[in-house]
Each structure stands twice: as C-alpha cells, then as structure tokens.
Amino acid sequence: MLLERTKAQNESLAKDVEHFKSVLEEEKAQNRIMIKRVEASEEEIESLKLRLVLSNTICAEQLEKIKELETSLSNKDASIEKLKQDKESIKSNYSSLVKLAHLEK
C-alpha cells in the first residue's frame, strides 16, 4: 500500500515536472521573441540616431547658408544706401551746376 501511494505520488510529481517543463519551454520561447523585439528596437534606435545626426548636419549647413545670405543681404542693403546717398549727392551737384549756369547767363 505504501508502495502504491509512493508510485502515485511519483506519477503526480512526474506530471507536475512535465507541466513545468512545458511552461518553461513556453516562457523560453516568449523570452526569445522579446529578445528579438529588443534587438529590433535597438536597431531602430541606432537608425534613428543616424538619421538625427544627418538631419542635424543638414540643418547646420542650411544655417550656415542662411548666415551667408544674411551677410550678403546686409552688404547689398549697405550698397543700396550708398547708392541713395550718391544719387542725392549727384542731384545736389546737378542743382548747384544748374544754379551756377543760371548765374552765368
């Protein structure tokens, strides 16, 4: 009778062991899936980092071009102001010449 009880307990324990092995295998499979997802996420993160670096580089280049254009525009504005002053000076000189010519008549 003790032998039968021990056999029954051993069989029950064997079933429990098989069940836990099955559960363990399932968890291992889920862990492998999670590892692959993490690896894929890490690859995506690296890809995003590279895209960010490229984007920052492009932005820096564009910012430099904008600064160059601002400098050029500023220089052109100064040239326009100089031309306006020259125009006023020419008008004044012309007016003086006209007056002088009038006086000589």
Tell me the pTM.
Answer: 0.56
**Cα four-point dihedral sign 87, 89, 91, 94:** negative
The pLDDT value given to residue 9? 93
The pLDDT value given to residue 105? 66
Name the average pLDDT for the chain. 95
- What is the distance between the alpha carbons of residues 95 and 102, in angstroms, rounded to a whole number? 10
3-class secondary structure, 79 = helix
At 57-104, the pLDDT tens digits run: 999 999 999 999 999 999 999 999 999 999 999 999 999 999 888 887
- What is the distance between the alpha carbons of residues 101 and 27, in angstroms, rounded to a whole number? 108
- What is the distance between the alpha carbons of residues 90 and 77, in angstroms, rounded to a whole number? 20
DSSP string, 33-65: HHHHHHHHHHHHHHHHHHHHHHHHHHHHHHHHH
Residue 55 pLDDT greater than 70, yes or no? yes
